[in-house]
Amino acid sequence: MNIKVMAVGDVCGKVGLDFLRRNLRRLRKEHSIDFIVVNGENANVVGVTPQQCEEILDAGADVITLGNHTWMRTEIQDYLDYSSVCIRPANYAPQCPGRGVGIYETSFGKICVANLIGRFSLDANTDNPFVVADNIAADVDAKIILVDFHAEATSEKLAMGYFLDGRVSAVWGTHTHVQTSDCTVLPGGTGYITDLGMTGPINSVIGITTEQSIGKFLGDPPRRYSPAGGPGKLECAIFEIDTETGKCVHAEALRII
């Protein structure tokens, strides 16, 4: 038996959240999706609130993953302690609220979702994601293991894909908000894409107004990010996974406008 897993790229601001609410359930039906993981760490532009997490779940997500902006909204800390379906990177320090790995009972068996954050150029005070990933792959009692690797460098994400190839069902990158063209099944049977892209405003620079982003590169003084408006998009990848072996048999990236 095969199932389809949809991984949705970082939800950015009101435009992204509204687009997700309008389209996710329809996409689930149209593509016969069995399980959906959404990266929600930018739903509040920088960070996410408990209310926004609930909106993402109401939109049709089964699990929410986070990233380097996890702690930007302090009210999320208590939420992470009691929510089993919103997880933060597993390689944050153990005293941090929440959990980095979730195991979910479904009609087609256990599904494990793991969230990791990269270290290259993110200036994150975290454990080595490769060591943590190695332990997860070795210890988790589930045929289907899904990994959201929230990282800056394409090389770090691609290395993680090959590092876990054959030991997990799928590895996808998040954080850079630009969908890559390399969605594939690696030689060992792990579905992979370097970056899912984002769910947010089309006419923006990774979700922020083009004027502010250009000004930043020209040297303007720092200021709060201004989320772009206008029409939205949803970028994602779909992984078809054999429930008996946990191997990915097909992978494709989608962009919905």
Tens of pLDDT, residue by residue over 76-126, are 999 999 999 999 999 999 999 999 999 999 999 999 999 999 998 877 789
Band the pLDDT of 51: cuts 50, 70, 90.
very high
Instruction: Check residue 121 and give its pLDDT.
Output: 80
Residues belonging to the active site: 69
Answer whether residue 168 shows pLDDT above 80. Answer: yes
- The full set of domains in the chain, from first to last, is 2-201+232-256 (3.60.21.10)
Residue 78 CB contacts under 8 Å (≥ 6 apart), including other chains: 50, 97
Instruction: Check residue 245 and give its pLDDT.
Output: 97
Instruction: Check residue 43 and give its pLDDT.
Output: 97
Tens of pLDDT, residue by residue over 135-167, are 999 999 999 999 999 999 999 999 999 999 999
Outline where DSSP puts E strands in 16-142. Answer: 35-39, 63-65, 86-87, 101-106, 109-117
Answer whether residue 33 shows pLDDT above 80. Answer: yes
What is the residue-averaged pLDDT of the chain? Answer: 97
Band the pLDDT of 196: cuts 50, 70, 90.
very high
Q: Which whole-number Å values give the CA distances from 97 to 72, 87, 89, 221, in the listed order? A: 13, 10, 11, 33
Residue 237 CA to residue 192 CA, distance in Å, equals: 9
